[in-house]
Structure 1
Amino acid sequence: CLTFTKAGAAEMATRVHQVLARWVRLDAANLAQDLKAIGARHDPATQARARTLFAKVLDCPGGGLRIDTIHAFSQWLLAAFPQEAGLLPGTRALDDRERALLAREVLSELVANATQYDRDALAMLSIRHAPDGARAWLMRCAEAIDLWTGPNGWQPPMRERVLQLLGLPSDCDEEQVAAGCNDATFDIAALHQCRASYGEWKAKSGSEAVAAAERWLGLDPHDRLREIDRLREAFFFKNGKPRLPKNADDAFASAHARIDELLSKLKTQMALLALAEYLEPALTLGRKFALAWHERKQRDGLIDFDDQIRHAARLLRDEGLGRWIAYKLDRQFDHVLVDEAQDTNEAQWDIIRALTSEFFTGLGQRDAKLRTIFVVGDYKQAIFGFQGTSPQNFARQKEVYWKEIETAIANARQLADETRSEPLVNLRELQVLGLGRSYRTAQDVLDFVDRAIAAIGAEAIGLDTPPEPHIGDAHRPGLVGMWQPVVAAPSEDDTDDDSWLGGPERAMADRIAAQVREWLDPKGLGHPLAKGEHRRAEAGDIMILVRKRKELAGLIVARLHAAGVPVAGVDRLRLGEPLAVKDLMAALRFAAQPLDDLSLASLLVSPLGEWSQDDLLEYGYRETSVRLWDHLRRSDKPFAQTTVAKLRLLLERVDFEPPESMLHWILTGPWQGRRKLVARLGHEANDPIDELVNAAFAYSSVATASLQGFIQWFDAGDGELKREQGGDDGLVRVMTVHGSKGLQAPIVILADATGNPDRSRASDLKVTEETSGQPVPLPTIPTDERHGPVAAAQEELKRLERQEHWRLLYVAMTRAEEALYIGGALGMNEKDPAEDSWYARLAPLFTDAELADPVWGARREIGRLPDPVVPSADTARTEETTRLPKWAQTPVGPEPRPPRPLAPSSAGEDRSAKPPLPSEQGAIAARRGVLIHKLLERMPEVEHDLRKVAASQWLERHAKDLDSAEREEILVSTIAVLDHSEFAAIFGRDALAEVPLAATVGGQVIAGTADRLLVCPTEVTVVDFKTTRRPPDSLDAIPDSVVRQMAAYVAALERIYPERSVKAAVLYTHTPDIIALPDDLLAPHKAALQS
């Protein structure tokens, strides 16, 4: 099954498993009712088969039905055939932040290597676009990679194609346009007619028009072209209406209209010619960036979401490889279900068609087995046009499949007639089924939806004919309510801390929080529901929808949290936007640069700093030239001194901790940052906090970890936090309508139904090239510069966006199962909702009188709710508060130091003055050392007289690559050590070899392996072998790194054997010589470990 969103895929998988699991347990009567409801037979044989479906699903490869988004399927396909897709080994998908960072790098390289022509184009783009708009435009060009490549791709010079795109001749220039002003081309007779008629008009306007006409006629064509605006000013008012006397005859009016037509045409041609001068360098630069962008991704082994679809479609369309891959895939499935087909674009349909191409081409490898494609789509729910989808694709593909099925049926019948046999495959005609029935929504709600569609008009939604009426659950009551629009009092602007937000939005969020709190109040009547059982609404039954992802959604979440309502965070937000992230980043910015006054002030007044604004004013006020950090350090006030001491703890870690460790310390260390942030901002702050920590780990995985580097990396991209909706049970959900696709709730609130669609930012403009059919992206063009095809494309885009605006309303309304509430706020200068707002179009449907409402002032309703759930003494349900367990409230504490056990052999850096051996000699010396270690480990167990023979045989087996002289030297050195009288105890039978040691010393774990360990009743001796060819000649010459290593061994053994003294020695096998390390030499290093 292929669907459009992750939420839809998860919801579908859950529902299928729930239904099939339910069928296993149902009795015969209820199972028959379920099967009858979906149009299936319900005889005993079908019921028996239905009970086995759940087990069959679990036996599918992967443990269930394969339900993927098209992107996920494409990713799987490319992973299965990477070489065929032309991908480098190890190619991985780009996340949003990496994409933004890579785009900056490619743009920087482009600017660094740009020609003067490119630099001028980039300068022009930067002037015409908003900040960072030039890069966004170039990324649009990168996404249109098919426009620039291939045999018909746009290549420089582009002037001819740009002119044709704008509807001008390919050789058009100012000379050609000016030719339209000469006497042979321009309608001079109509102009003379107007001049004569104006001459009879005694008003001042008439004489001015005559003078302007005569002046214009006296110019050459080029000057006439430059003076058309002055001629228009004399003939027309500023609003475009003609300057005509009231008694103007038809001939005058006709000639005047002709002049208007000609002047408008000339003006449009000049405007399009000027626009071509802008577009040619812009598109040339866009092509250069697009090619550089894709070349860089390919070189680095990276791929983004659009690439996945593009590569998968190209792979399956390939005449050679595509057929083989289709054959391989054809063996894996018999049925394909496409969900949300109305939001599937052309490239995605290419994938689907390739997957099903063998379904209708004869018997194939599956012989007579019936194979199906089931496509589910609803034109009324096509709302992702901003992502390049179009519901028209759905309609076209239906015609394609209809023709394929009809052809396959005709071929099967022809083959049966020729062979005089029955068709081997029972092919069925294309079946078109309606989506009018809903099993989850009350009939009263769906009746309102039908009335809304009728009031708005099927054409406004993009339908040719009115849709069929909806059929819902007639046994369940449903309610649609409209709340009076919220208008904030002017005084609210200056009294709220959130004055940067409009007063109406804040008031709307307050009202919604109050309403939801009233519904959930266990002491009140609550909001009755009938789904499943007659009950009171809970937090998880409520979904609050907004049209756009703006500040209102976050403000609603904050107000609900302040009201004590369990609420999930918004469904999607920029990682840098949540207050918890801003506070943590302020702490990191201060740590990186203590003299950053803004970051320090932000940190102090955050939950981490625990200052109030008054505290900042009292303790932070200083001379202008004095830095805030310097001022606080010099302060003698105890409150400031306490804060400085707290901040010093943070600064002490900057030079030694990576960003993720810094965040860990802030969140779980002495500052207890997570607890403070969640206490102030609510539990929804946990997700952004976790994502910031994940971002720090992600940065450390791709770069050398540094705090300043992480800050720059974080600021360079706009990582997006997407909340998966599966874990929000029991919480109010706040999300956009787009994010709610595939979801539903018993109670739905439309929070910004008064929004004016004309104020929304227009989508990116494209003009389709007639010859290739390719859409060409256009940069920002002011409204007064849009003419010809550009103006037509803008009007078409506006029409499509308005259709999507109404389809978005349909999706929002159909999320409600039992109750739909419509509300919104009016701006400071608005008296009524905008004409094309959802609120204004739905309001006339409410014909009953207004009802008084304690929260909204007034409301209107259609339908009804179930009877209130009145609690009784026996059945009243008390609100239960689940307390967090003690372990969840106990601080985790600082990260272990070091994060992994300390190995004594790495306890310090070797700072000896003697230079290292050359690389080849170093490798030989290392090999020699390993062999001597192995022999010293094994030979003590061998009888004295047999050691030399045994050691020689062992070396012959394990050091064949060494010549006999080298093996002999190793043998002699080893035997000399073993036979040395001073080392007898160390290599006696009571001593242990290669002994693992582990102990906790000073809060850190020490773990290592001692070469030899001798444990006696009163003392313990540890010896480490050193095979260097440059052994020290005295105790003072032993490197510090060796002393630190042995100090770590001694410290660990003192913890393991607290009742015994511990001695350490180093055995240099080359001499051979053993050097005992006195306690006073080891003591400073042991003390360092303890601290």
Structure 2
Amino acid sequence: MSGKVYPLKGNQAHAVDPERTVWLSASAGTGKTQVLSARVLRLLLQPDVQPSEILCLTFTKAGAAEMAVRVNEVLAGWVRMPDGDLAADLKAIGADYGPGAIERARTLFASVLDCPGGGLRIDTIHAFAQWLLSAFPEEAGLTPGTRAMEDRERSLLAREVLAEMLVDAQEQGDEETLNALADLSLKKGPDAVEAWLMTCAQAREAWFGAGAWVPPFGDRLNQLLGLPADASEADIAALCADDRFDTVSLRMCMTAQAGWKAKTGQDTASAIGQWLAASPHERVERLSDLQSALFTQKGEPRSLKQMLGIDPAYPDYIARVGERITEVAQFKALLGLAKWLLPALTLGRKFALAWEDAKNREGLIDFDDQIRRASDLLNRSELADWIRYKLDRRFDHILVDEAQDTNEAQWKIIDALTGDFFAGQGQHDGKMRTLFVVGDYKQAIFRFQGTSPENFAKARERVRKALAGAVANAQEARGGATARELLDLRLGQSFRTAQQVLTFVDEAIAAIGHGRFGLSQEPEKHFGDDRPGLVALWQPVSSEADDAGEDESEQSWISSAERRMAGKIARQVKAWLDHGFPLVKGRHRNAGPGDIMVLVRKRRDLAGLIVARLYAAGVPVAGVDRLRLGAPLAVKDLMAALRFAAQPLDDLNLANLLVSPLIGWSQQDLLDHGWREDGRVRLWAHLRASSDPFVRATLAQLGELLARADYEPPQALLHWILVGSWQGRRKLVARLGREANDPIDELLNAAFAYASALTPSLQGFIQWFDAGEGELKREAGASSDLVRVMTVHGSKGLQAPIVILADAAGNPDTSPPRGLELEEILPGGAGRSVPLPGLSGDEKVGRIAEAEAAVAAAEREEHWRLLYVAMTRAEEALFIGGALGSREDEPAPDSWHAQLRPIFTGEPIEDRVWGQRWEIGALPPPVAGGSRAVSGEAPFALPEWAVRPVGPEPRPPRPLAPSSLGEDTAPMPPMPPGTMEAAARRGTLIHALLERLPELEQDARAAAARQWLARRAADLDEGACEEMARAALAVLDAPDWAEIFSPSALAEVPLAATVEGRVIAGTADRLLVTASRVMVVDFKTAARPPRSLTQIPIATLRQMAAYVAALEAIYPGREVEAAVLYTQTPELFALPAALLAEHKAHLSPAQ
């Protein structure tokens, strides 16, 4: 709306009726925010409605702010709007537009401003709960001064609680607690233990209230797992007794096996006979032998074909035997699991109780506490009426946005607020009270935050029944007022997306199946704008290194396919912006950077890499939508300065600070002035002893920091680093670009937040900062002319003309189900949900397997709903692509890419970036007059300089990795089977020896080589290992090259230099630097090494030429010698300078 009122159409107009309770299911892009705002306006226009009686609850702070701005802008505009225009606005939203209505509309803005609190109450559910608790702290059981807990406070408090619990256990001799913690740590690891304890702390309903779990609860745990309360080892043996195991079927299997004269049949029959002859306790021990004799590892009967020929009823016998074996195995596994879970749950309960005590002691509550306490406050009958009476406002009209993402605890608050809307006094006071709920089951994607879309459907049914009861008793309950049934409406007309894209969305839902989205029935079709639209599917990107432009040495922790995917996206976006991508919404124009949104399913390294590739390509791009505050380089550099001020003797931190933009040393400066013969001397002490003017200047700079650290709090010290004599902000932005400003500001905010909550100290701030992982969230609205890269979750509520799904080929099965818990089943329905720690596959049996399957099914449904949200972000063009796994030839069966591929029935189109693509629909015709991007919202023409984005800060040329300088295209003759693998392994082993042995004394190398090969190549015979050891030692002892393998030489040395305008970056395997010359050697593990200098591949010569050129720039005036060592032979080739000079031409920037 944004100050302008648009006419409502169809169900939009019905939904804003101020006298009806409405349940609105609104598909993506159908204008639900406009409907919400219009409904608020219609309510305000009612003579008997006061602004203080309206409550709007939204899912996000951004949504609340947007709605408040829309409503206030409209009301402000109505104050002095001409009567004719104001009447048109009122008519557009379906309101009365007579003189009386116009007069009232002009007064609404002042009425809203006079409302208690300064305006309409438009809040998130958490903000409303916090407001409610602050109004009634005593009634809610809160101590005065209680406040919401920050993430870092949560982490620090959790560690404090655990430490106190350990100290108490040691002082009191509580071996049970100590042993439980030790066993859990050994089994799962320290981080998993901390996560488990916090999970128990959040599972509050299991430990508090009537029916809570109170030790000893071993019997209750057995029942939870599906075992008898008094289950024991004796019960396992009882299951193997003749009266329980179905030995009749087992004997029939033995008879059939004995009838098969083959050795396998006789052995199986013998195994069965031995098992039957054993006692029940012995049978338990031999159960795995019986199982392996009768079944394969996949659980399939062995020799079934032969058994059918002997006894056609054999499948029935073996099936019953298999059921009994599974029953015994599961019982045994669950009993063992119960023994392990009992101390884990006991420990978790103890931590949860201590956690609650600590929060109360410190006066802190978390988000879950806010919702729980607010719900209790409104649902306790002895206080609810009094609290309502004491409230300075009474809510008669409640609006709920994004209701599909409201969890069960939050619905309890809404139910309490609307409890008497349709019954009791609320129906007898002669005043109509309404509830308006809007949501969309298809967009329920926040299960990981505890929400469940099933709550949406259950709440609708509760409201429907309540209203049906009110209708049945209307005459008596309303005193003549008319009660109306629930108005259940749907919105399917999109006002932002082209019809072609929405048609594809409908086809996708049909192809995947509406049931897999969690929908009970097929959804209504989507209707959009009649304008050109395009949906394209890109060929998935494999890990084949066929792009010479990709630098495989960077981001090696990310798969090569994802690196190539990021590079292809950057080239594609760059091509769109350079050559023009026509759009028609608003007006016919070419797309700009702000028209493009790149979406990923999860916040992983791929998103950051896409941002980096776009930035390198010169595309204006915003950073990822969320990042950990400690991750940006600017924050790391500033924290390095603070860490130095707190502890100057930390050598690694000081080295990081010296080479940061704050100090400005180069790596060579650090090597020249920081190297010391005695490694026991601290770097700080070494620098302080230097008389070099360059070092003394740095010491003066660092000394000023140390002097200020003695008396300034952290926030003041940070401020001085940024704007004082250090000029830190200017230096950081100059090096890292303008995007460094946001994390710098957030770090300052964090310092001020720390100082306001705790007694400030430098060491305290560092500890507080390290304790948590505060997130930096970028506002990714459509106003900035930058490409946006974000998760699908982060894109909720946003849209863009062009949307790219960057990881649609991802396998949803790679992540285990989250939040596994068991629902306790007790007579009377008094059971609790009990959390479970991370379990192995063998431990997930019985009820646990069923619970995991249910969680996995719910997450799979959300996987498909996430696809719906992603597709409906696109206004005019949707592009779908993804990277394959390292061992995958095609997308995973349940990936978005695989499920959408059958919809594209046309022939593939050759694509220079993607190889192939498939298309549905078409783009509008090209824009006349060139390819320059034009804003679609400019009200009048502006000069080009006014609309052209500033673009990124200049960066150094893209680094050139020497290893990427071309490929050898000459075909190689085939090698005998197995020879290639053996040769490659031999080369790799010798390579490893050449890396490790030079660090040892010469007389110790032989023994060390044999010992290392005995461990790493234990499957090879002694002769082969001895031969490889001799080969490696022969190279190390060669007189001509002994110096390069001496302890004075360096191994795995990173190199970087600018040569003829091109940055060369790589890693040398061995490097020796003397006063007059530099020697560099690179190891090659080629399975077919050359036999002479003339056979060395061109790519290798280009690589070594790049190394020589870089070293000549780094060490001017020194002779640089290069050699290549082929480790498979092994043989060392010295490369003449004249030969390498021929290949330096390939280092030009055009390469």
**TM-score clears 0.5:** yes
The equivalent of 1:790 in structure 2 is 848
Q: Determine which of 562, 565, 569 is the counterpart of 1:512.
A: 569
Structure 2 counterpart SS, 1:469: coil
Distance 1:55 1:565 in 2: 46
Displacement of 1:382 in angstroms is 0.8
Structure 1 counterpart SS, 2:860: helix
Residue type of the alignment partner of 2:155: A
Alignment of 1:617-766 (within 5 A): 617=671, 619-623=673-677, 624-634=679-689, 639-725=694-780, 729-766=784-821
Matched, 1:434 2:493: no
The equivalent of 2:663 in structure 1 is 609
Q: Determine which of 569, 577, 580 is the counterpart of 2:634.
A: 580
Displacement of 1:237 in angstroms is 1.9
Contact 1:141–1:777 (CA under 8 A) maintained in structure 2: yes
Q: Deviations over 1:837-881 (max 9, x none)?
A: 112222222233444445444433323334333337997952438
Q: 1:866 to 1:875 in 2, by over 3 A?
A: farther
Matched, 1:867 2:867: no
The equivalent of 1:810 in structure 2 is 868
Contact 2:552–2:560 (CA under 8 A) maintained in structure 1: no
Q: Which runs of 5+ in 1 are unaligned?
A: 417-422, 885-1091
Q: 1:708 to 1:331 in 2, by over 3 A?
A: closer
Distance 1:407 1:648 in 2: 78
Structure 2 counterpart SS, 1:376: strand
Structure 1 counterpart SS, 2:519: coil
Displacement of 1:506 in angstroms is 3.1
The equivalent of 1:216 in structure 2 is 275
Displacement of 1:528 in angstroms is 3.1
Matched, 1:376 2:472: no
Residue type of the alignment partner of 1:588: L
Displacement of 1:706 in angstroms is 3.0
The equivalent of 1:396 in structure 2 is 458
The equivalent of 2:837 in structure 1 is 779
The equivalent of 2:347 in structure 1 is 285
Q: Determine which of 533, 547, 554 is the counterpart of 1:478.
A: 533
Distance 1:539 1:330 in 2: 49
Q: Which moved more, 1:272-281 or 1:324-333?
A: 324-333
Report how many residues are paired: 874
Displacement of 1:613 in angstroms is 4.1
Q: CA RMSD in A?
A: 3.0
Residue type of the alignment partner of 1:819: A
Contact 1:850–1:860 (CA under 8 A) maintained in structure 2: yes
Contact 1:604–1:616 (CA under 8 A) maintained in structure 2: yes
Q: Which moved more, 1:364-373 or 1:234-243?
A: 364-373
The equivalent of 2:66 in structure 1 is 11
Q: Determine which of 581, 592, 597 is the counterpart of 2:651.
A: 597
Residue type of the alignment partner of 1:546: V
Displacement of 1:548 in angstroms is 0.9
Contact 1:11–1:742 (CA under 8 A) maintained in structure 2: no
Contact 1:148–1:155 (CA under 8 A) maintained in structure 2: yes
Q: Deviations over 1:394-423 (max 9, x none)?
A: 11111111111111111223568xxxxxx5
Q: 1:520 to 1:620 in 2, by over 3 A?
A: farther
Q: Determine which of 144, 147, 167 is the counterpart of 2:203.
A: 144
Distance 2:748 2:821 in 1: 40
Matched, 1:348 2:392: no
Residue type of the alignment partner of 1:339: D
Q: Which moved more, 1:30-39 or 1:784-793?
A: 30-39
The equivalent of 1:185 in structure 2 is 244
Contact 1:363–1:425 (CA under 8 A) maintained in structure 2: no
Displacement of 1:776 in angstroms is 1.1
Q: 1:673 to 1:487 in 2, by over 3 A?
A: farther
Structure 1 counterpart SS, 2:248: helix
Alignment of 1:227-626 (within 5 A): 227-248=286-307, 249-329=311-391, 331-362=393-424, 364=426, 367-414=429-476, 423-474=479-530, 476-487=531-542, 490=545, 495-521=552-578, 524-525=579-580, 527-617=581-671, 619-623=673-677, 624-626=679-681
Distance 2:728 2:228 in 1: 66
Displacement of 1:797 in angstroms is 0.9
Contact 1:330–1:358 (CA under 8 A) maintained in structure 2: no
Q: Which moved more, 1:273-282 or 1:655-664?
A: 655-664
Structure 1 counterpart SS, 2:731: helix
Contact 1:7–1:743 (CA under 8 A) maintained in structure 2: no
Distance 1:430 1:792 in 2: 37
The equivalent of 1:880 in structure 2 is 946
The equivalent of 2:1007 in structure 1 is none
Q: 1:863 to 1:520 in 2, by over 3 A?
A: same
Q: 1:795 to 1:138 in 2, by over 3 A?
A: same
Residue type of the alignment partner of 2:496: R
The equivalent of 1:1067 in structure 2 is none
Q: Which moved more, 1:107-116 or 1:618-627?
A: 618-627
Contact 1:205–1:243 (CA under 8 A) maintained in structure 2: no
Alignment of 1:994-1013 (within 5 A): none
Q: Which moved more, 1:2-11 or 1:867-876?
A: 867-876
Distance 1:494 1:625 in 2: 39
Q: Deviations over 1:52-106 (max 9, x none)?
A: 7666655654454322110010001001111111111111000111011101101
Displacement of 1:225 in angstroms is 1.2
Q: 1:646 to 1:57 in 2, by over 3 A?
A: same
Distance 1:404 1:506 in 2: 56
Q: 1:385 to 1:588 in 2, by over 3 A?
A: same
Contact 1:529–1:537 (CA under 8 A) maintained in structure 2: yes
Structure 1 counterpart SS, 2:420: helix
Q: Which runs of 5+ in 2 are unaligned?
A: 1-55, 933-939, 951-1151
Q: 1:762 to 1:682 in 2, by over 3 A?
A: farther
Q: 1:251 to 1:502 in 2, by over 3 A?
A: closer
Matched, 1:828 2:886: yes
Displacement of 1:337 in angstroms is 0.7
Matched, 1:839 2:897: yes
Contact 2:475–2:481 (CA under 8 A) maintained in structure 1: no
Contact 2:211–2:831 (CA under 8 A) maintained in structure 1: no
Residue type of the alignment partner of 1:443: Q
Structure 2 counterpart SS, 1:432: strand
Q: Deviations over 1:574-629 (max 9, x none)?
A: 22122211121122223322332221222233322334445545554444444433
Structure 2 counterpart SS, 1:274: helix
Q: Which moved more, 1:686-695 or 1:72-81?
A: 686-695
User: TM-score, normalised to structure 1's length?
Assistant: 0.75
Displacement of 1:674 in angstroms is 1.2
Residue type of the alignment partner of 1:456: I
Q: Which moved more, 1:781-790 or 1:14-23?
A: 14-23
Structure 1 counterpart SS, 2:321: helix
Structure 1 counterpart SS, 2:436: strand
